[in-house]
Structure 1
Amino acid sequence: MTYDADRVDEHSVDHVSELELLRDDSAKVTWVNIDGHGDRETFSQMGELFGLHALALEDVMNLHQRPKFEDYGETDFVVLRMPSMTPHLDLEQVSMFVGESFLITIQERPGDCFDALRDRIRKNKGQVRRRGSAYLAYSVLDAIVETFYPVIERYGDQLEELETRVLANATENVVPEIHAIRHDLRMLRRSIVPTREVLSAMARADAGDPQDNTHIFLRDCHDHTVQLLEALDTNRELASSLMDLHLSNVSMRMNEVMKVLTIIATIFIPLGFLAGLYGMNFDGHVSAWNMPELRWRYGYPFALGIMGLTAIGLVFFFRSKGWLGKGS
């Protein structure tokens, strides 16, 4: 895509040599958007055509770059991460070369967040057509930063839904879902924090040019990353609170189970003592003190009655203390 204040042209090219025609008019701004990372030969030709540094081209081929900004004199090199939900979180690497009259953006695959920007250029809306490549670079950066908002909001909605489920059903196991969200939030933070540093460095670099006030817009974009981090930290705190709430519910449920088991065991302790006492079977003929109930006609019902009364007495005692249902 090439444009100036009066005209915009769009081209689809299959070879680097076709871009040479677009470089003839330096008065226009040229935006080259590349889908995929091609091969080293292609990028070597791109480097020769646009004067790109070899080290920066090596970084383009490495898809595990941390967001960064590097000044190579005539050309600035920027690496960012562009998020998407497909349906899981995906952080695509976007590399940018910003020259005096050109911008090159390199993505991992087709599909991006620049359609609204392209439409503004086609319809001559906003300031893009009247500004240079630095402002176009800012517009691309701003579009990438804006894509983080719906992603973070989506995680916020998921956390609110999980909170409702945890409060409604204390037995539901939501730990895997919370762990997955916390992992994605960490990944987002690892992308946004260096992005904030990139925008700050670019704003400082552009501030030295009195003819260009793009640094003002870059500072505004930098403020957006600060807002994103605040929203992200809020979601992380909510995720941690949800985990604590879930673990607290599990602990309370376990305590209830242990309380019931303890009460049952406590009731059977005296019953076991009575059963053991009357199970000694000392002969009553040897001594009058030896189990006088052993040959009593009502000895067995008497022992069962004592056990039953003991159990009932303990139940009423536990209820009076509020340990079993409501206190009487």
Structure 2
Amino acid sequence: MSSILKIKDVNKNFGKISVLNDININIDKGDFLVLVGPSGCGKSTLLNCIAGLEKINGGEISINNKDMSEVAPKDRDIAMVFQSYALYPTMTVEKNITFGMKVRGISEEIQKKKLNEVAKQLQIENLLKRKPSQLSGGQRQRVAMGRALVRNPKLFLFDEPLSNLDAKLRVEMRTEIKRLHYDLGASMVYVTHDQIEAMTLATKIVVMKDGFIQQIGTPFEIYNYPENIFVADFMGSPAMNLIGATTKKEKDHIKIEIKLEDGSTATLIEKSKLKLPKDIIIGVRPENITENGSKKDSNFQYISSKVDIIEPAGSDTFVVTKLGNKEVTARFHSETDVKIGSKVKFSFNLQKVTYFDPKTGQRIK
């Protein structure tokens, strides 16, 4: 498959402040790439560099195998959807959507045809005569997407398009964007700080921090095999539990010892051939710590610990305890009858555990 977007060794500075450092990303036609990370990590700056709204200080960005160094934003064959919608307030929905085509000298017949296609696709046929001030946030976002869709560009760029919407509408619009991607087979680059959005939309995720790429992978890879402690902690809700522990090498296994709140020690047995340092951090997702008796399998081992907090969450109940001086969240059944203060057997799925080196923060492979 040919690359639609290549970002090679890209650097960007604002004065003496380095915002992007040696960024390398490839996306194929039809990919949905999500740039995710905390505020200030450089993801929106990178999107603006792809769009040509910011000049890069080093490296190369090419779209459809064409170097974009000297290409103006309007000639890059991209369409951008902004967080603020950026609609013309004095124009109707219809004119907002067709304005770009009119400026490019596209015939009225084609304008009308494209308008009808996207209005139907986005279910906004009944809004065409309204002005932006008469629309809800979700409707405005649909119009902004409609304006991008009529361009039929090589690449769609989305800059936190759902962050102004309420929670329910965000979920609906997420589904809408996912459906659009599937129907159009379009290539998309999408910026968000919301890791749930990243996990649900992406075919490929780029996790960023302080202008550096931390990991690139599919949602499955990022979630199950985080490269470092930052990715493990940032991706997932609730986040991955990160528990400090020490190891002791035995003949055919490794003993992993975890301090409990009462000062005693719990032991897990690791039988894989991994080389683990003396001090480690165990990464384990809440769904891989369940209640005793819910799983009968040799991969499951148990730690008895006191329940600190119980958080009912509809289909699940999150149970919090303390292990290795850290709060640890387990995912129990919704009908669990555990009580705060009681001692409970927590069942760990050791097949799903990730180990990190506390010195480097990197995953131990």
TM-score, shorter chain, exceeding 0.5: no
Higher helix share: 1
Tell me the TM-score normalised to structure 2 length. 0.24
Higher strand share: 2
Larger radius of gyration: 1
Tell me the TM-score normalised to structure 1 length. 0.26
